[in-house]
């Protein structure tokens, strides 16, 4: 098997998206609709759990929402006016049905279903402690750690048990939880991962992005604040803020790539921010060229901004087919090589003899950029200049993003000149970190107290990384032991 999209192989990938509904007849159908709008956040698996006032009902499956939740018999079996769902791309835990969310458990207080976007950065240590105390895990997902912390808490109410559990975890989380007492939505104290609330008639909706509200015809109410728990009990909406208040650090890469461009994040249009990043890139790194060409589809808004700021015409020099699946069987090496053109192909008549500026959102391993530059040269481009709408990605993410280990990040091992030689472009430039913040409306990055998590660019992690530190210590111990032999 081989992916048919040569440009999707080398992207940072968000772990997942969550969607919850409380107070709507046929809630599961509404969740399925919302998950369709969040499919870009996780294409590996999907699941929905509903509650009918007496029983919980769950359906989970590998693959996309379409094909798994477009059958009446499946949706009709998910009875109740409360439901939550999840789309997954794994960053922790194996690719297996047992890790597909929502995860469900029968606790002493009743059923407990949880859908999680993010990553618990001390999950391994917590898991070891819980197993020693007798917990039996059914998955390899970090999310299950929260369930066991709730189950073993000495507090009385489900809400208090849940808060007790969250006070023991580190990292990033936006959660939608279902219990017999009501639905709970919460966001970690730094607000690293997004979560919004909407309303459709009398129903309350929670989602990773506003675009999922739009698809359902729901009204956007507000973002869930960092560190806030919102509890929906029937027609009651209660807000709790159990954590010490800290300066929020939402993920800046949501604006660069993760969120859909038609979403609103923290009162900012993602599309407008991406155009502003492209314009800033044109100011910082101009080039004498004939055409500005986006790498589809994520590079398009930034390319529009670059073209408008520079005055260079914008053109679709790479044409994408939207009718090809992610993978297909490759009978031999020759067909495997040709297969990458099924989804993207150079607009040869437009490109031939032209000096072009290619706009992409990021460079991770560099393999994608190398392929794109070669595609443009094969199509007859006179010059190929790469401009990247984010700073160099030099550090791994531990907050719910599938990032290669640092040794495999091109920018962690090469300077920009060396990277340019590697991808074989005529020139390469990235937007500066201050330029990225300017596009968000800040004059520059505040080095002492940044307004966003930008650790993948700067290495400035806003939380402790317990599990990662443990791995480093084990590796160092193993190296020392090897030297002593």
Question: 51-67 b/e with 16+ CB inside 10 Å = b?
Answer: beeeebbbbbbeebbee
Q: Give me the helix-helix angle, 300-310 and 270-284, nearest 10°.
A: 50
- The pairing of strands 383-388 and 355-360 is parallel
State whether the Cα torsion 111-116-122-127 is positive or negative.
positive
**Residues with Cβ < 8 Å from 149, sequence gap 6 or more?**
126, 130, 164, 165, 168, 169
What is the tally of helices (H) and strands (E) in the chain? 17, 25
SS3 per-residue string spanning 342-374: CCEEECHHHHCCCEEEEEECCCCCCHHHHHHHH
Q: Confirm if 280 and 436 have CB atoms less than 8 A apart.
A: yes
3-state DSSP call for residue 397?
Answer: coil
Point out the catalytic residue in the list 16, 251, 397, 453. 16
3-state DSSP call for residue 177?
Answer: strand
* Side-chain half-sphere CA neighbours of 438 within 13 A: 17
3-state DSSP call for residue 228?
Answer: coil
16 assigned to active site: yes
Measured CA to CA, the distance from residue 469 to residue 463 in angstroms comes to: 12
Q: Which two tokens stand for residue 324?
A: 């090809």
Q: Which two tokens stand for residue 336?
A: 């495997």
* Side-chain half-sphere CA neighbours of 437 within 13 A: 18
Cis status of the peptide bond prior to 297, with omega within 30 of 0:
yes
Cα 80 to the center of its chain, rounded Å: 29
Show the CA angle centred on residue 115, arms to residues 110 and 117, nearest 5°.
150
Cα 168 to the center of its chain, rounded Å: 24
What DSSP string runs through 289-355? -SEEEE-TTTTHHHHHHHHHHH-PPB---EEE-SS--SEE---SHHHHHHHTTTTEEE-HHHHTT-E
Catalytic residues: 16
């Amino acid at each position: 098997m081989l992916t048919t999209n040569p440009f999707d192989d080398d992207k940072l990938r968000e772990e997942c998206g969550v969607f919850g509904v409380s107070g709507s007849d046929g809630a599961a159908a509404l969740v399925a609709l919302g998950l369709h709008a969040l499919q870009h956040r996780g294409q590996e698996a999907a699941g929905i759990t509903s509650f009918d006032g007496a029983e919980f009902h769950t359906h989970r499956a590998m693959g996309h929402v379409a094909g798994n939740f477009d059958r009446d018999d499946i949706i009709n079996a998910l009875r109740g006016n409360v439901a939550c769902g999840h789309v997954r791309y794994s960053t922790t835990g194996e690719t297996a049905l047992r890790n597909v969310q929502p995860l469900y458990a029968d606790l002493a207080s009743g059923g407990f279903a949880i859908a999680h976007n993010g990553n618990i950065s001390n999950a391994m240590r917590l898991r070891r402690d819980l197993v020693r105390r007798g917990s039996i895990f059914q998955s390899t997902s970090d999310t299950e750690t929260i369930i066991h912390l709730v189950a073993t808490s000495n507090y009385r109410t489900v809400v208090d048990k849940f808060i007790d559990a969250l006070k023991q975890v580190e990292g990033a989380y936006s959660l939608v939880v279902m219990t017999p007492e009501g639905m709970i939505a919460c966001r970690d104290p730094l607000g690293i991962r997004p979560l919004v609330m909407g309303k459709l008639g009398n129903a309350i909706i929670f989602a990773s992005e506003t675009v999922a509200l739009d698809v359902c015809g729901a009204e956007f109410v507000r973002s869930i604040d960092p560190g806030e728990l919102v509890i929906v009990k029937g027609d009651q909406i209660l807000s709790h803020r159990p954590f010490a208040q800290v300066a929020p650090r939402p993920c800046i890469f949501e604006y660069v790539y993760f969120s859909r461009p038609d979403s609103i994040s923290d009162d900012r249009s993602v599309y407008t921010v991406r155009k502003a990043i492209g314009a800033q890139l044109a100011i910082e790194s101009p080039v004498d060229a004939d055409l500005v060409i986006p790498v589809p589809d994520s590079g398009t808004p930034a390319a529009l901004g670059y073209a408008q700021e520079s005055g260079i015409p914008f053109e679709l020099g790479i044409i994408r087919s939207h009718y090809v699946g992610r993978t297909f069987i490759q009978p031999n090496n020759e067909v495997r090589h040709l297969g990458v053109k099924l989804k993207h192909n150079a607009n040869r008549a437009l490109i031939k003899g032209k000096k072009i500026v290619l706009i992409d959102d990021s460079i991770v391993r560099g393999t994608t950029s190398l392929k794109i530059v070669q595609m443009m040269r094969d199509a007859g481009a006179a010059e190929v200049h790469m401009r990247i709408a984010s700073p160099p990605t030099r550090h791994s993410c531990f907050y719910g993003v599938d990032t290669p280990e640092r040794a495999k990040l091109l920018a962690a091992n090469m300077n920009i000149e060396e990277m340019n030689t590697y991808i074989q472009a005529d020139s390469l430039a990235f937007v500066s970190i201050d330029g990225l913040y300017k596009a968000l409306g800040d004059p520059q990055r505040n080095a002492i107290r940044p307004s966003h998590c930008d650790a993948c660019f700067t290495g400035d992690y806003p939380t402790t990384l317990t599990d990662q530190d443990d791995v480093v210590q084990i590796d160092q111990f193993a190296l020392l032991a090897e030297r002593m032999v």
